[in-house]
Structure 1
Amino acid sequence: MIGRLRGIVIDKQAPEILLECNGVGYEVTLPMTSFYHLPALEQEAIIYTHFVVREDAQLLYGFANTTERKLFRLLIKVNGVGPKLGLAILSNMSASQFVHCVNLDDVATIVKIPGVGKKTAERLLIEMRDKLKDWGQEIATPVTDGIAIDTISTESSIVSVTNHKDDAINALISLGYKLNQADKAVKAVYTSDKTSEELIRDALKSML
């Protein structure tokens, strides 16, 4: 099991990064809530990972802190929720926001996430309620180790992305949104001074 990686961010193409650790490049997929807090290209990052082995692939999912990873692992244990849907959920809301939705039985917000129908949303709320009842203190002060939690790096986006709008649309599609949904959401929040990461963040907010 690969549980933690420390290395240099070589490439960022939301929601994936390439992290070089001692000469080996690891492709890691992150929820956008963690992706936003990555340092600039050529800077060091430490991410906590969840390793998935399938017959046709070996996949690494990365998180800014152990709290986000713990929630991801709880989510994918729910019937009908796989890693892709878990990634979509944590891309649309932080751990604290998800816990808040569970505490309020907020089905309406959960079903806005791509791939989450009403039955899945209700199942999530029911199954996660007991598992998250003691999470108030845990999510109050999430610990990060190598990813700045309060800053969004724009330098790397400017360097690696030539078309921020297309990059944002492609990222939303990879998270489960349909092309027309992604295109409409990005266009609604687009301004020429925004990076791709800012466009993705604002588009996701506008759809919840």
Structure 2
Amino acid sequence: MIGRLRGILLEKQPPEVLLEVSGVGYEIQLPMSSFYPLPEIGQEAIIYTHFVVREDAQLLYGFADKHERAMFRELIKVNGVGPKLALAILSGMSANQFVQCIHHDALSALVKLPGVGKKTAERLLVEMKDRLKNWVGSDLLTPESEKIVFENSVIKDNAKQEATSALVALGYKPAVAEKVIQQVYQDGMDCELLIRRSLKSMV
């Protein structure tokens, strides 16, 4: 299994990146909580990965640290939660926030996530509460992804389109994605900040 990659970021198109490692380009899908802290294109990045082999595809999922990956692995053990839904959950809230939702039975917060209906949210609360008892006091409660500092960057004209595509890829309906982006967009916002604000407004 491919568990960790270190290389140069060639492309960043949320929620996917292209990472060059020793001349090989790896396409990796990340939750937005792990996408935000990534360095700029052309710089070196270290990504912890989870490798999935299916009959029709081989997929790499990436994470900023081992704790986010560990949460992803716990999520996909839940009946009805696949990798795509797990990414959507960790894009809508950090691992730390998810732990708090489980501990406080925050059903209403979970059902706001894309692809999470009431039954899935209830299943998450029941199955994850017992599993997450072992997480209390661990570094998962203070992941590095909570310590994000945004720097000024070049604003692209297609920031709205890129943000919409990212939200759709995470499971939101196009109409919903476009509507929330229009609501939160402010002049000067880049794609990553626009996605972050959009996701926050829906939780």
TM-score, scaled to structure 2: 0.95
Aligned to 2:110: 110
- 1:55 to partner: Cα distance: 0.8
**1:51 is paired with a residue of what secondary structure?**
strand
Contact residue 2 and residue 50 of structure 1 kept, 8 A = yes
Deviation sequence 1:123-180 (CA, Å, 0-9, x none): 0010000110132322234368xxx95333554xx38x54000000110000000011
One-letter amino acid of the structure 2 residue matched with residue 66 of structure 1: K
**2:135 is paired with a residue of what secondary structure?**
coil
Structure 1, unaligned stretches of length 5 or more? none
Aligned to 1:151: 149
Aligned to 1:81: 81
One-letter amino acid of the structure 1 residue matched with residue 202 of structure 2: M
C-alpha separation between the residues in 1 aligned to 2:143 and 2:91?
16
One-letter amino acid of the structure 2 residue matched with residue 180 of structure 1: A
Q: Which aligned runs of 4 or more in structure 1 are off by greater than 4 angstroms?
A: none
**Pair 1:200 & 2:198 matched:** no
One-letter amino acid of the structure 2 residue matched with residue 150 of structure 1: I
Structure 2, unaligned stretches of length 5 or more? none
Aligned to 1:179: 174
C-alpha separation between the residues in 1 aligned to 2:157 and 2:62?
25
C-alpha separation between the residues in 2 aligned to 1:126 and 1:64?
27
Give aligned pairs, total: 202
Cα distance change, pair 8–154 in 1 and its aligned pair in 2 (3 A): farther
Cα distance change, pair 153–34 in 1 and its aligned pair in 2 (3 A): farther
Alignment of 1:45-194 (within 5 A): 45-138=45-138, 139-142=140-143, 149-152=147-150, 155=153, 158=154, 161-194=156-189
One-letter amino acid of the structure 1 residue matched with residue 104 of structure 2: L
Aligned to 1:25: 25
C-alpha separation between the residues in 1 aligned to 2:47 and 2:152?
19
Contact residue 38 and residue 152 of structure 1 kept, 8 A = no
One-letter amino acid of the structure 2 residue matched with residue 171 of structure 1: A
**2:27 is paired with a residue of what secondary structure?**
strand
Relative contact order, CA 8 A, sep 6+: which one is greater? 1
Deviation sequence 1:13-59 (CA, Å, 0-9, x none): 00000000011000000000000000011110101000001111100
Aligned to 2:3: 3
**1:27 is paired with a residue of what secondary structure?**
strand
One-letter amino acid of the structure 2 residue matched with residue 16 of structure 1: E
C-alpha separation between the residues in 2 aligned to 1:41 and 1:149?
20
- 1:188 to partner: Cα distance: 0.6
C-alpha separation between the residues in 2 aligned to 1:123 and 1:62?
25
C-alpha separation between the residues in 2 aligned to 1:61 and 1:178?
22
Query: Share of identical aligned residues, percent?
Result: 60
Deviation sequence 1:48-71 (CA, Å, 0-9, x none): 000001111100000000000000
